Amino acid sequence: MTTKTLTGPNGIRIELDSAQIFPDDPGQGTPAMVYVDSAKARGLSATYWCAADTGELDGSAVLSSKQVDWLHAQDEAVAAFIEGGAK
């Protein structure tokens, strides 16, 4: 099992976890989760793809445009981690 954390602006981070990769069932697991260390977003999370698409955590904490831009810039790193962990 491999884990990795990518840290971005204003407390945002992506936590990658290879134990959550299921090659035979890609819809299962949460290999890439987004969290923000702030009072407004405490306890909230979203999958990487949901956060990048909607710009929100759990549908209630809105990410800044800088945070969303950073998420989009991590697309290749997230894809490489998941592809590498699925082997």
Q: Summarize pLDDT for 3-59 with one digit per residue, the tens.
A: 999 999 999 999 999 999 998 887 899 999 999 998 878 889 999 999 999 999 998
- Give the global pTM: 0.92
Tokens of 86: 């699925």
CB neighbour class for 4 (10 Å; exposed up to 12, middle 13-18, buried from 19): middle
DSSP 63: P
Q: Where are the domains of the chain?
A: 3-85
